[in-house]
Amino acid sequence: MISAGAPAPDFTLPRTGGGTLTLSALRPAKVVLYFYPKDDTPGCTTEALDFTRLAARFRAAGTEVIGISKDSLARHESFCAKHRLGVTLVSDAEGRVCEEYGVWGEKKLYGRAFMGITRTTVLVGGDGIVAQVWPRVTVAGHAEEVLAAAAAL
């Protein structure tokens, strides 16, 4: 998994709302990259709604919030419309970015092993360097914690 102090791997991925998003093009803004397992599942929906609820405060702190999963762009668009999400989602359908950031790997649920995204958040400074990483995120209160870290950066 990527660690604080490392350069954030650059990427260009399809984004909700049309077009593509390139991480380095967002500089000098700070960027929250929240990696999540799957659109429209309970924990992922709660996390997206929490970041949406705080979107204006993130913007006021000079921070962009980007959600990343392996879901298709069409599924992301549907998820955004259904829940009126106010954050940008990007589709890493091939999983390249998830692998570069170290969030793709074996998981276990009810004794069954499978490959998937470990819910992780990465805060990237305006200089493109990883400022903080939250591995194996617990959703409750997480968006607020990330906002506090972004505002202090």
Q: 44: burial class by Cβ within 10 Å (0-12, 13-18, 19+)?
A: buried
Give the pairing type, strands 63-69 and 30-35: parallel
Distance CA 125, CA 101 (A): 15
Write the single-letter amino acid at 21.
L
Residue 80 designated active-site = no
Report the candidate in 123, 127, 120, 128 with the shortest Cα–Cα distance to residue 152: 123
Distance CA 19, CA 7 (A): 25
Q: Can you point out the beta strands (E) in the chain?
A: 12-14, 20-22, 30-35, 63-69, 88-91, 104-109, 112-117, 120-124, 130-134
Catalytic one of 2, 21, 23, 44: 44
Residues designated catalytic: 44
